Structure 1
Amino acid sequence: MPTIVRIEGTDLKELAALSQELCGREANIACLKDTLEKIVHNPDYILIGARDDQHRLIGSVMGIICMDVVGDCRPFVVLENLIVSERARGLGIGKLLVSYIEERARERNCYYIMFASLAKRKEAHRFYESIGYAKGVVEGFKKYL
C-alpha cells in the first residue's frame, strides 16, 4: 500500500525524475532546489508524494491554496503537476494523491479545486472524470511568457 508523504528537500532527485516523466525533459536541479525550498516553507502550498513499499517516490501532486475576493471570499485550490510514474499507473496512486489534496482543501474551507490539463492528454482526462471532476465546466486559456 502506498504511503502519502510531504515532499522535502531530500526528495529533490526523485521529484526531478518524476518531473521528467511528465514533461519529457530534465529538470533544472538548481532551480528546482530553490523552488522546493520556498514551497516546503509556505503553508499555502501542499506538495505531497506517494511512496511504494521500497520507499521510492512513485507519484506527486501540488495543491496551492488561493484566496478569493468574490462572494463569501472562500479560498480555492489550484491543482498542479499530478504525476504518477509509468510503472505505477493504474494502481490508484493518482486518486490517492488527489483525495489527500481534497481533504486538505475541505479542512481549509475551500470552495472548489481547479486545474488545467493539456488538451492532448486524453487518458488523464478520463482519469479526472472518473474521480468526479467535470469537463466542460470552464474554458481554459494559457499564454506562455
Structure 2
Amino acid sequence: MSAKELFYSKDHSFTQDEACAYAREDLIYNVTEDLLVQMEDLAITKVELARRLKKSRAYVSQLLSGSRNMTLASLADICFALGIQPKIELLPDTATAQQETSSVEKTIKYAKDTWQIEVIEDLTPNPVILESNVIDCRNLSAWEAA
C-alpha cells in the first residue's frame, strides 16, 4: 500500500506536481525495500555492505532510507556488491493510459457523430489525376456515359 492509498481515497484528484512527487516516493520506497529484503535474504548487514562498497555506514544508511539520492550508478554498485542483478521495467501508468484511451475514444465518437462519410463503391484500380491535388478514383466509364 502506498502513502497515497493510505491517506487519500481512490477518487481523490492530485495536481501534476503532487502525482509526480508520489510516484517518486513510491519508486524510492520500492527500490530500497527490495534491496533491504535481498540483504536480509543474503544475511548481509549495512555494515558489511558499506565495507564491500568501500563507503561509510552512514552513506549506506542514507541510501537505503531514501534520504540520499540513489543514482543508477550507486544502485548498480550496490547490486554488484550484493551479487544480484537489477532489472528495471518501465510500464505505462494505467491511470494515464486510461485517460488517453478515453480521450481518443471520445474524439472518434465525436467524429462519427458529426462527420458524414460517403463511400464510393465503384472504384477503378488506377486513379486519374485531374489536377495537381485532385484525384478521381471512380469508374471512368460512368463519367463518359454522363
- Structure 1 or 2: larger strand share? 1
TM band (smaller chain) = under 0.3
> Bigger relative contact order, structure 1 or 2, given CA contacts below 8 A and separation 6+?
1
Q: TM-score with structure 2 length normalisation?
A: 0.21
- Structure 1 or 2: larger helix share? 2
Q: TM-score with structure 1 length normalisation?
A: 0.21
